[in-house]
Amino acid sequence: MNLFVVFRQGDGTLELVTPPLDGMILPGVTRDSVLSLARGNAAGTLRIPNLTTKLVVSERGVTMKEVSEAAQAGRLVEMFGAGESLFSHFHTSVRVTEARSTRSRYGCCCQPRK
């Protein structure tokens, strides 16, 4: 599943952020479709109803600290996951706790500290 986060910038522009393809994140049809649709809307070559054209699409790292700070400041618009094996899923809440990063055979995951 690919993670997408939407932040509101100071000038009202929305930034759609997803981590870059770096070996941990794999390319896929759904990820590419979300990015292509958003970029087309931002460029004005494709009009998606109810989606602002004041949109920037960024492929960059995003941390839970950044998400948490944006949520506290009222700049977190939404966060959702999308992937080939499931429909897009919008998260209604995110609980941030102190966590440590561990590796499993499935990749990287976060587990609460004991």
Q: Stretch 43-64: mean pLDDT, rounded?
A: 93
Q: What is the DSSP letter of 49?
A: T
Count of all residues that appear for the chain in the document: 114
Residue for token pair 């809440």: 93
| CATH number of the structural domain spanning residue 73 | 3.20.10.10
Count structural domains, the chain.
Answer: 1
Are the C-beta atoms of 39 and 32 separated by less than 8 Å?
Answer: no
| DSSP assignment of 12-27 | S-EEEEE---SSSSPP
Q: pLDDT digit string (tens) for 58-109?
A: 999 999 999 999 999 999 999 988 877 655 555 555 555 554 444 433 333 4
Domain with 6 in it: 2-112
Q: What local confidence, expressed as pLDDT, does residue 111 receive?
A: 39
Question: Do β-strands 76-83 and 99-104 pair in parallel, antiparallel, or remain unpaired?
Answer: unpaired
Q: What residues form DSSP beta bridges with 99? A: 112
Q: In the predicted model, what is the mean pLDDT of residues 2-24?
A: 93
Looking at residue 95, its pLDDT comes to: 58
Q: What is the pTM of this model?
A: 0.75
